[in-house]
């Protein structure tokens, strides 16, 4: 891990549109030092991050009901589409990364957001069934091993970074995920159980793992204990309560993926201005300004599926420029 060299900027995951080749061309062109395999939710069920991850599961299948994804005895058509679309995306990524050497990020939904988004046959979420949660985590781990091997085969010079998307993690920890009836919530999951399952899934790779959540109150310490080499978050949601955890993460060598660029259309100011808040935080924590570039990866605040194609392209380019500004002028 000590020999791993992070890129200065990258994206989160989703992009607008449904053209795999155009998306791969945009992503690789924007992030020559840290491209990623994008998701295209506009394709429909199976194109989204949850559907893509369900398509990776080993010996577990699902189909789409009006209420969402539900476990079944065989793959539904949406799962088959997810697998087909993933193949198209990998073909496109392979085409535009010929000869590439360096970090390459892939994303999958983490075990807790997956358990909070997949229904069992009876209609209740897997989150409420301890055995189902265990089976799901094991199936996800096996699926990720296969996926990681395929990415490495297609882009042999890549140092693959696995990002686990956990937008529901905070709600799982707080007991805020609603049951099927909607009248009550699932009980909060024990933090040690959450940490243990995350560690199990992270163990599928000897490369770095990043955990992404664009929800407030990201549990930095828990994720670091579970083995996350990087933590991805919406910088605008940080509060004073987070600052001590940020300082500890930096001093512990955890890479921070700071989401400083809005994920939906809007004006983009001077790139130097977008990272001013990061510089201010560094000074407030008493951290060495010279460590900024080596501690951070600049990203959008969340996925860009809800943005226009033009804004998404501009946002990616903006992240790269903001990272250069940070490196050139750390003070």
Residue 139: give the domain boundaries: 20-328
Q: Is residue 12 part of a domain?
A: no
Three-class secondary structure of residue 73 per DSSP: coil
Of 64, 242, 68, 231, the C-alpha closest to 161 is: 231
Return mean pLDDT, the chain: 94
As given in the structure block, the two tokens for residue 115 are 């358990």
Q: Is the pLDDT of residue 180 over 90?
A: no
Summarize the confidence of residues 30-53 as an average pLDDT. Answer: 96
Q: Is the pLDDT of residue 156 over 70?
A: yes
Summarize the confidence of residues 47-63 as an average pLDDT. Answer: 95
* pLDDT of 2: 43
The percent of residues above 90 in pLDDT, for the chain, comes to: 85
Per the structure, how many domains does the chain have? 1
Write the DSSP assignment of 205-268 as a string of letters: -SS-EEEEE-SSS--HHHHHHHT-SEEEEEGGG--HHHHHHHHHHHHTTPEEEEEEE-SSS---
Summarize the confidence of residues 8-27 as an average pLDDT. Answer: 97
- Going through the chain in order, the beta strands assigned E by DSSP cover 61-65, 68-72, 102-109, 118-119, 158-165, 209-213, 230-234, 255-261, 296-300
Sign of the torsion formed by the C-alpha atoms of 324, 327, 328 and 331:
positive
Task: Write the CATH number for 110.
Answer: 3.20.20.210
Q: Is the pLDDT of residue 330 over 70?
A: no
Q: Is the pLDDT of residue 1 over 60?
A: no
Q: Is residue 7 part of a domain?
A: no
Band the pLDDT of 269: cuts 50, 70, 90.
confident
Band the pLDDT of 173: cuts 50, 70, 90.
very high
Of 24, 65, 18, the C-alpha closest to 43 is: 18
Question: What DSSP state is assigned to residue 126?
Answer: G
* pLDDT of 268: 87
Choice among 50-54, 83-87, 136-140, 179-183 with the minimum mean pLDDT:
179-183
What pairs with residue 159 in β-bridges? 103
- Asked whether the whole model's pTM tops 0.85, one would answer yes
* pLDDT of 183: 83
Summarize the confidence of residues 143-147 as an average pLDDT. Answer: 98
Q: Alpha-carbon distance 167 to 174, whole Å?
A: 13
Q: pLDDT by residue (tens digit) across 277-302?
A: 888 999 999 998 888 888 999 999 99
Q: Is residue 89 part of a domain?
A: yes
As given in the structure block, the two tokens for residue 325 are 């500004």
Q: Is the pLDDT of residue 157 over 70?
A: yes
Q: Which long-range contacts (CB under 8 A, 24 or more apart) does 48-51 make?
A: 48/14, 49/13, 49/14, 49/107, 49/108, 49/109, 49/165, 49/303, 50/109, 50/113, 50/114, 50/117, 50/118, 51/78, 51/79, 51/82
* pLDDT of 34: 98
Band the pLDDT of 27: cuts 50, 70, 90.
very high
Q: pLDDT by residue (tens digit) across 317-327?
A: 999 999 998 88
Q: Is residue 68 part of a domain?
A: yes
Summarize the confidence of residues 61-81 as an average pLDDT. Answer: 92
Q: Is residue 49 part of a domain?
A: yes
Q: Alpha-carbon distance 121 to 281, whole Å?
A: 47
* pLDDT of 76: 86
* pLDDT of 331: 65
The percent of residues above 70 in pLDDT, for the chain, comes to: 98
Q: Is residue 264 part of a domain?
A: yes
How many C-beta atoms surround the C-beta of residue 259 within 10 A?
A: 23
Burial of 116 (0-12, 13-18, 19+ CB in 10 A): buried
Helices then strands, counting H and E runs in the chain, come out as 13, 9
Measured at the alpha carbon of residue 232, what is the angle toward residues 227 and 238, in degrees to the nearest 5? 115
Q: Is the pLDDT of residue 243 over 80?
A: yes
* pLDDT of 323: 93
Question: What DSSP state is assigned to residue 306?
Answer: T
């Amino acid at each position: 891990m000590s020999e791993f060299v992070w890129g200065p900027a990258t994206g989160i995951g989703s992009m607008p549109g449904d053209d795999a080749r155009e998306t791969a061309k945009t992503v690789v062109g924007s992030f020559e030092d840290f491209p990623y395999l994008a998701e295209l939710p506009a394709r429909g069920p199976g194109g989204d991050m949850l559907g893509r991850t369900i398509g990776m599961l080993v010996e577990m299948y699902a189909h789409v009901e009006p209420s969402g994804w539900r476990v079944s005895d065989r793959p539904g058509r949406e799962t088959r589409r997810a697998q087909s679309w993933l193949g198209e995306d990998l073909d496109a990524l392979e085409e535009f990364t010929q000869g590439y050497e360096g970090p390459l990020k892939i994303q999958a939904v983490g075990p807790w957001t997956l358990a909070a988004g997949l229904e069992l046959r009876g209609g209740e979420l897997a989150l409420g069934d301890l055995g189902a949660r265990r089976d799901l985590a094991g199936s996800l781990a096996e699926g990720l091993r296969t996926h990681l091997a395929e990415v490495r085969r297609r882009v042999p010079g890549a140092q693959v970074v696995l990002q686990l998307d956990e937008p529901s993690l905070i709600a799982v920890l707080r007991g805020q995920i609603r049951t099927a009836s909607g009248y009550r919530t699932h009980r909060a999951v024990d933090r040690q159980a959450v940490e243990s399952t995350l560690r199990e899934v992270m163990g599928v790779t000897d490369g770095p793992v990043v955990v992404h959540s664009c929800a407030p109150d990201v549990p930095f310490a828990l994720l670091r204990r579970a083995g996350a080499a990087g933590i991805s978050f919406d910088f605008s949601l940080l509060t004073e309560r987070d600052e001590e955890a940020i300082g500890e993460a930096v001093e512990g060598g955890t890479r921070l993926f700071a989401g400083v660029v809005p994920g939906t259309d809007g004006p983009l100011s001077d790139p130097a201005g977008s990272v001013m808040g990061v510089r201010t935080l560094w000074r407030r924590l008493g951290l060495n300004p010279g460590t900024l570039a080596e501690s951070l990866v600049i990203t959008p605040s969340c996925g860009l599926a809800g943005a226009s194609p033009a804004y998404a392209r501009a946002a990616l380019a903006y992240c790269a420029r903001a990272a250069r500004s940070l490196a050139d002028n750390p003070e």
